[in-house]
Structure 1
Amino acid sequence: MSRLYAEVIGDPIAQSKSPLIHGHWLEKAGIDAEYRHCRVAVDEVATYLTERREDPAWRGCNVTMPHKLAVMEHLDLIEEPARSIGAVNTIYRGKDGTLRGTNTDAPGFLEPLRPLLDEQHLFRMARILGTGGAARAIVKALAGEGFTLVLAGRDPEKARRLLDELAPEGEHHAVDIAHFADPTDFAFDDREGLLDLVINASPLGMTGQPPLHFDFTHAPPGALAYDIVTSPLDTPFLQEARAGGLPTVDGLSMLIGQAAVAFAYFFGQKPPRDDGDAQLRAMLTA
């Protein structure tokens, strides 16, 4: 049999960092396999999956834009949390040969927060900026961790629908993203034992995109600022948060975290991360 491989598909795809991440882990783990990128046009999704289904060397693929919805109808099983999120970003072959779709964005997003989430809190609240595909995964993930959510988008009605669909149990709030652009004198609860997150789950602030307008008077004392943007890695949003003394998490954390979950699906073991991803981060930011 030819050499085992996994890959990432999308269109465009050349910019993907996934081959570097998985390739680094494969080499460190001494696994005789490779990870590629493969451009798949919109009208080629069905053909691609039919061909890969018959290839015993293929271990699966990550799925990026614009195929996270299109792949779903061609799979044998959609697992949680992909079913609830409504998007697949990882396809792997089950032991019975079936093609299974899942979503590693949610666990990847939560990974750097896990030490905080393992603590007990009086109250947890997250302000999430954006209503796109990444926001869907983040809403689902945080609702499952007991957060009250404030979801902000250019269309508050879309934000409301998203909350009703993905987090129907809680008392969550949908607002216009412009609400956070102007200063506020709101008196936040500053008791011990609260966990507050402010998350940019939108493309705003990304290279080539409009800036994100967020006034940090809307961030409660001690809130953690998390930006999923990876280009630039140190966004103005994160810089301003640090200047105000707030802890931050950058976009590489989610990118590496979701890749680690996918790696285990593809290659049957967790990736080697004994250095806390320091070497991988250096490679990704070189």
Structure 2
Amino acid sequence: MSRITGAVKVGGVVGQPVSHSLSPVIHNAWLEAGGIDGAYVAFAPKDEDGFAALVAAGRAGLIAGVNVTAPFKEQAYRTADQVSAAARLVSSANILAFRDGQVFADSSDGAGVLYALAEQAPALSLNGAHVVMLGAGGASRAGAGALLQAGARLSILNRTRQRAEDLAADLGAGVCVADDDTVLQTADLVINALSVRPQIDLALVPAHAVVMDMTYRPVVTPLLLEAKTRGLTTVDGLAMLIGQAGAGFEAIYGLAPPQMDMRAVLMKHLKETL
């Protein structure tokens, strides 16, 4: 069982909105399983000033660390005193740890993508693979760095071409912008980084390709359901969420998360909250 004493370490997830986040379920389950003196809550600052106030509280020693979600990942990166190589690669951070008045930033989104692919599409080799990323927002940016480091080449397909071109320019070599969904014909991996169902023709996707959706509500999204119907290998956003969470837990509490079947915990929670 978890325990709360005067030495409790307080962590949390920060975003807007954040009430839908599964991060408190994940981290508090780990805290309870490990009997760790800690608490993990949700913070929903209304704007950038509110986020800055939360960071100030961290610098003052009131919070041990936070996981960061939209729309604050890039602000989190800019506010840090030290940033990891993973965060620097994508100019955003989903983890802030506060130590002795200093702010340390990291990005585990890319690690989450790799974890999910290894778990649910183990036959896929990213080295030399053609990845089509749907969307050019923060989620695309966060996952792209790890894919490029793994040897993949990336095509970005986005409704607003200029935004895709800006992201491609930031990411550098190995990234191009697609004109339309005919780019799917040569895809080895298709990743939906949009919060909505993308308007693409899955009939164009080769039979060997993998389709991943970063969204985890529902776990089997309409895109993944169609991909399954077509016989394609699918990867869900829940696996990515679990994969990225461990680094945040360790950064906040200074301990590796206890071994447990987190997917079962989350599936039970999702069924109870339907």
Shorter chain as normaliser: what TM range?
Answer: 0.7 to 0.9
Equivalent residue runs for 1:135-214 within 5 Å: 135-166=140-171, 168-170=172-174, 172-176=175-179, 179-180=180-181, 196-205=188-197, 212-214=198-200
Instruction: Report deviation, 1:73.
Output: 3.9
Q: TM-score, normalised by structure 1?
A: 0.83
Moved over 4 A (4+): 115-122
The change in CA–CA distance for 1:159 and 1:27 in structure 2 (over 3 A counts) is same
Distance in 2 (CA, whole Å) between partners of 1:3 and 1:274 is 22
By how many angstroms is 1:117 displaced?
7.1
Q: TM-score with structure 2 length normalisation?
A: 0.86
Following the alignment from structure 2 to structure 1, what is the Cα–Cα distance between the partners of residues 178 and 244? 28
Q: Deviations over 1:105-158 (max 9, x none)?
A: 111111122366797678411111110000011221111111121210012233
The answer for the alignment partner of 2:3 in structure 1 is: none
Choose which of 11, 15, 31 in structure 2 pairs with 1:10. Answer: 15
1:259 aligned onto 2:251: no
Identity %: 33
| 1:44 maps onto 2:50 in alignment | yes
Question: Is 1:81 matched up with 2:67?
Answer: no
Q: Do structure 1's residue 54 and structure 2's residue 60 form an aligned pair?
A: yes
How many residues were matched structurally?
Answer: 265
Q: Secondary structure at the match of 2:66?
A: strand
SS at match of 1:101: strand
* 1:110 correspondence with 2:114: yes
SS of equivalent residue, structure 2 residue 42: strand
Q: Report the Cα offset of residue 24 of structure 1.
A: 0.8
Contact 1:75 1:99 in 2 (8 A): yes
| Farther-moved stretch of structure 1 (196-205 vs 268-277) | 268-277
Contact 1:157–1:174 at 8 Å: present in 2 too?
A: no
Q: How does 1:97-136 map to 2 (within 5 A)?
A: 98-114=102-118, 123-136=128-141
1:246 to 221, 232, 236: 232
The equivalences for 1:220-231 within 5 A come to 220-231=206-217
Distance 2:265 2:195 in 1: 27
Root mean square deviation, CA, Å: 2.6
